[in-house]
Amino acid sequence: MAKVVIGVMGPGNEATTSDKEVAFKLGKLIAKEGWVLLTGGRNKGVMDAASEGAKSAGGLVIGILPTGDRSTFSQHLDIEIITEMKSARNNINVLSSNVVVACGMGAGTASEAAMAIKANKQIVLIDQDETSKKFFQKIGGHLVSFVNNPEDVIESIKKLL
């Protein structure tokens, strides 16, 4: 039987310090549950921090990479899935995750959250502002959960699996 895969999406270059701290902790907690972490695979922001967190707890980390340029790969990946499809790979990220988590917000993350909803996937958004909450509530309805910290993400995922 296939492993449970949790996708963690979030900004790369534009991630805040807080986004990265939350992502690191979240990656760690995902690994502790025995779940596989899936990210966009780059060595930036939320992707990199979540991957580092999961590795620090002995987890398995899959990166779905937008390009084949190895200098942009996170050093914390176990499996490098190279798509060379740039942002079109965002759809693979969400389709391959049992639950999608968004940590931080930007255009790329918004596209992933929207694609998750389009694909009828459950999505958990951490610590978002009112503007993002209202928007994703509007387009996602019951598919969207809002939580404020990594521990609550894990609780939400357990209810969804």
Instruction: Kindly write down the DSSP assignment for every residue of 120-134, as one continuous string.
Output: T--EEEES--HHHHH
Of the candidates 103, 89, 95, the residue with the CA atom closest to the CA atom of residue 40: 89
> How many helices and strands (H and E) does the chain possess?
6, 7
Which residues, 20 to 39, sit near a second copy by CB under 8 A? 36
Contact 38, 52 (CB under 8 A): no
Residue 83 binds a second copy, judged by CB under 8 A: yes
Which CB atom, from 22 or from 115, has the smaller least distance to a second copy?
115
Q: How far is the CB of 53 from a second copy (least distance, A)?
A: 17
Residue 111 binds a second copy, judged by CB under 8 A: yes
Of 25-33, 44-52, 116-124, 152-160: span binding a second copy (CB under 8 A): 116-124
| CA–CA distance, 146 with 156 (Å, rounded to integer) | 9
Among 13, 86, 142, 159, binds a second copy (CB under 8 A): 86
Which CB atom, from 141 or from 159, has the smaller least distance to a second copy?
141
Q: In what order do the strands lie in the sheet with 61-65?
A: 79-82, 61-65, 36-39, 5-9, 99-103, 123-126, 144-147
Contacts with a second copy, residue ranges (CB under 8 A) = 1-3, 5, 36, 62, 64, 68, 73, 75, 77-92, 95-96, 105-108, 110-111, 114-115, 117-119, 131-132, 134-135, 138-140
